[in-house]
Amino acid sequence: MKNAQIAKIFYDIADMLEIMGENPFRIRAYRRAAQNLESHSKDLAELTKEELLKIPGVGADLAGKVMEIVATGTCKDYEALKRRSPEGIATLLAIPGLGPKTAKLIYDRFKVHDLDTLEKLARDHRLKGLPKIKEKTELNILRGIEMVKKGGERMPLGRVLPVANQIMEILRKRAPVCQMEVAGSIRRWKETVRDIDILATSSEPEKVMDAFASLAKAREVIAKGPTKTTIIYDGIQADIRVVEEGSFGAALCYFTGSKEHNIRLRELAVKKGWKLNEYGLFDKNNRSIAGKTEEDIYRAFGLQFIPPELREDRGEIDAALKGQLPKLIELSDIKGDLHTHSKWTDGSYTIEQMAEAARRLGYEYIAMSDHSKSLGIARGLNEEKVMEEMQEIDALNKKLRGFRILKGLEVDIKSDGTLDLPDGILSKLDLVNASIHSGFRQSREQITKRITSAMRNPFVTIIAHPTGRVIGGREPYDLNMEEALRTARETGTFMEINAYPDRLDLNDQNAMRAGEMGIRIAISTDSHLTSHLNMMKYGVQIARRAWLEKKDIVNTLGLKELTALLKEKRKRAVAWA
């Protein structure tokens, strides 16, 4: 448990006491203790009762509560207060910018206990009549409500990562930062993220805090201290911490997480009689063993360096102890993109423009994979149009040297499980992505049957976005993944990791399972714009989180090896047809 979480309970207690009109001295005592607990330099969870009692404002009663919270995550008095408080008042108190006094006023007058009603009251200017509430207060309340509504949501990594990079770019220019890295779930490339955690070293931490708090897009400064500041930036909560140079590696390790990985590391430390925290790795005499770099820390444990993407407690520590971590695929291993769209259907660029953009990325090939006819909204292609597009590709390929446009298609797997275009056409192409764009609500049996029958077609090379999910948009359809993967293995069909940040489909866990089963994977961007080709990195990172290596990914092959591989399934098809 972090100090801030413990302090928050004390702040909450103070707020509730205030709402109930309790003794102001008691309320102030809780607030003062909360402040000192929050800003305490050591982990409260690690302190003895004697050490707790040395913290200003913490007497025997509060020290006992801290220990209770550390042990159980809460304390009895807090739970009792919550039960005694008017229902829903906690919801009001959670709104930034709405203090307990105002919350109580509003509550007493309107008996509101949900955000929507309060929002309506504020919009209709019905709060304004209350003592001390002005139009500005109403605006603050509205902004606070918006933040609460957003705050609970996890956002796609693709939305947050560019923001984190932007913040760091500005700070590197404007603030005296020395080292700086993003930590937390972003550094682990988790598909969704709650907030931005930045770590830095600096000889002038306060200047860094000032620069961070005064970023132009910092709409709200939630907390600002000498070495830690929290803001809302572009609708996203962002924290920065400045740590000592000698602790940077330890802090980076701690704040990168995951929490579960940290717990496993700490267990290793305890076994050796050491102590690991965000300040460093220490022996039993409290002498520092490591802390400056993460590499030093993992080395001290006799572990291989564990890349952040693997730190999810999925067996990485045991593997690292044995020296058996995978040699993870890297973006630079990728030699081409196998799922892209052009103006022939719903893309915005010509084939030539897409090919040029791929070439600029250093690729050897790109597959055009426009939609088939049943996808009306994408102006899907019928047989004739497919053949016309292929002629254009042939012509372009004649002009190109050292680069090849592969002839592909994204064929729709229709609701009845048949493919949208006949084998006669599919067999003329270099590769076929097959995917589902309709009938998402079918039963598990039907969906699974659709996917596996598509796999049994010898000309279907890859199943694209195999679960159909859109992060924050659409749940995956009900596919029996194990059965699909077994059929992929049996038929020699590849599975896609769709790198588009709203999809990331297969996700890391499914991709990991596919890798374990020896199924080959294509990492593709599904680009509809030339700039989308740059999304490849998100797919590669999913593959890394899935423990995949270069050999698992088909588009790490050079053009010659890839074209040979693409023919294999067709040849083998005779055997299992």
Does residue 337 touch Zn ion according to CB under 5 A?
A: no
Neighbour tally for 8: CB within 10 Å: 15
Site string for Ca ion, 146-185 (x = CB under 5 A): --------------------------------------xx
Does residue 262 touch ligand DGT according to CB under 6 A?
A: yes
Cα of first residue to Cα of last residue in the chain, in angstroms, is 58
Does residue 191 touch Ca ion according to CB under 5 A?
A: no
List the single partner that 507 binds among Zn ion, Ca ion, ligand DGT, none, CB under 5 to 8 Å by kind: none
Query: Which of 19, 242 has the CB closer to Ca ion?
Result: 242
Q: Which residues contact 216 (CB under 8 A, 6 or more apart)?
A: none
Given the rule CB under 6 A, which of 30-38, 258-266, 429-437, 509-517 is the region that contacts ligand DGT?
258-266
Tokens (6 digits) for 84: 């005694």
Does residue 496 touch Zn ion according to CB under 5 A?
A: no
d(CA 351, CA 388): 13
Given the rule CB under 5 A, which of 14-22, 76-84, 190-198, 325-333 is the region that contacts Ca ion?
190-198
- Window 485 to 504, contacts with ligand DGT (CB under 6 A): none
Query: Which of 140, 340 has the CB closer to Zn ion?
Result: 340
Does residue 205 touch ligand DGT according to CB under 6 A?
A: no
Given the rule CB under 5 A, which of 107-115, 191-199, 266-274, 311-319 is the region that contacts Ca ion?
191-199
Of the candidates 500, 525, 528, the one whose C-alpha atom is nearest the C-alpha of residue 347 is: 528
Tokens (6 digits) for 37: 């607990």
Does residue 370 touch Zn ion according to CB under 5 A?
A: no
Does residue 185 touch ligand DGT according to CB under 6 A?
A: yes
Query: Which of 240, 523 has the CB closer to ligand DGT?
Result: 240
Query: Which of 171, 553 has the CB closer to Ca ion?
Result: 171
Does residue 412 touch Zn ion according to CB under 5 A?
A: no
Does residue 505 touch Zn ion according to CB under 5 A?
A: no
The DSSP string of 430-452 is SEEEEE--S-TTS-HHHHHHHHH
- Per-residue buried b or exposed e for 194-219, using 16+ beta carbons within 10 Å of the residue's own CB: bbbbbbbbbeebeebbebbbebeebe
Does residue 304 sit in helix, strand or coil?
coil
Does residue 195 touch Ca ion according to CB under 5 A?
A: yes
Does residue 531 sit in helix, strand or coil?
helix
Q: Which residues contact 304 (CB under 8 A, 6 or more apart)?
A: 298, 319, 320, 323, 325
Does residue 312 touch Ca ion according to CB under 5 A?
A: no
Among positions 410, 420, 496, 502, the unique one binding Zn ion when judged by CB under 5 A = 410
List the single partner that 410 binds among Ca ion, Zn ion, ligand DGT, none, CB under 5 to 8 Å by kind: Zn ion
Taken in order 283, 287, 290, 291, is the CA torsion positive or negative?
positive
Q: In the complex, which residue's CB is closest to ligand DGT?
A: 257
Does residue 308 touch Ca ion according to CB under 5 A?
A: no
* DSSP character at residue 328: B
Does residue 237 touch ligand DGT according to CB under 6 A?
A: no
Would you state the torsion angle of the CA atoms of residues 321, 325, 331, 336, taken in this order, to the nearest 10 degrees?
Answer: 180
Given the rule CB under 6 A, which of 99-107, 187-195, 296-304, 376-384 is the region that contacts ligand DGT?
187-195
Q: What long-range pairs does 56-63 form, CB within 8 A, spacing at least 24?
A: 56/32, 57/29, 57/32, 57/33, 58/33, 62/10, 62/29, 62/30, 62/33
**How many Å separate Cα 357 from the centre of its chain?**
27
Spell out the SS3 assignment of 129-153: CCCCCCHHHHHHHHHHHHHHHHHCC
Does residue 508 touch Zn ion according to CB under 5 A?
A: no
Does residue 150 touch ligand DGT according to CB under 6 A?
A: no
List the single partner that 526 binds among Ca ion, ligand DGT, Zn ion, none, CB under 5 to 8 Å by kind: Zn ion
Residue type, 388: E
The DSSP string of 10-68 is HHHHHHHHHHTT--HHHHHHHHHHHHHHHT-SS-GGG--HHHHHTSTT--HHHHHHHHH
Does residue 259 touch ligand DGT according to CB under 6 A?
A: yes
Q: Which residues contact 571 (CB under 8 A, 6 or more apart)?
A: none
Given the rule CB under 5 A, which of 68-76, 359-367, 497-505, 524-532 is the region that contacts Zn ion?
524-532
List the single partner that 2 binds among ligand DGT, Ca ion, Zn ion, none, CB under 5 to 8 Å by kind: ligand DGT
Site string for ligand DGT, 263-292 (x = CB under 6 A): x-----------------------------
> Which residues of this chain interact with ligand DGT, rule CB under 6 A?
1-2, 184-185, 193-195, 197, 254-255, 257-259, 262-263
